[in-house]
Amino acid sequence: MVRVPRLAGGQQKPPGPVEAALLNMEYGSVGQVNFGYLEAGAVIAMIPCVVLYVALQRSYIRGLTSGVVKG
How confident is the model over 25-70, as pLDDT tens digits?
665 555 677 788 889 989 999 999 999 999 999 998 888 888 776 6
| CA 11 distance to own-chain centroid | 23
pTM above 0.85, yes or no: no
Helix (H, G, I), strand (E, B) or coil at 56: coil
Place 14 in a pLDDT band, splitting at 50, 70 and 90.
Answer: low
Helix (H, G, I), strand (E, B) or coil at 29: coil
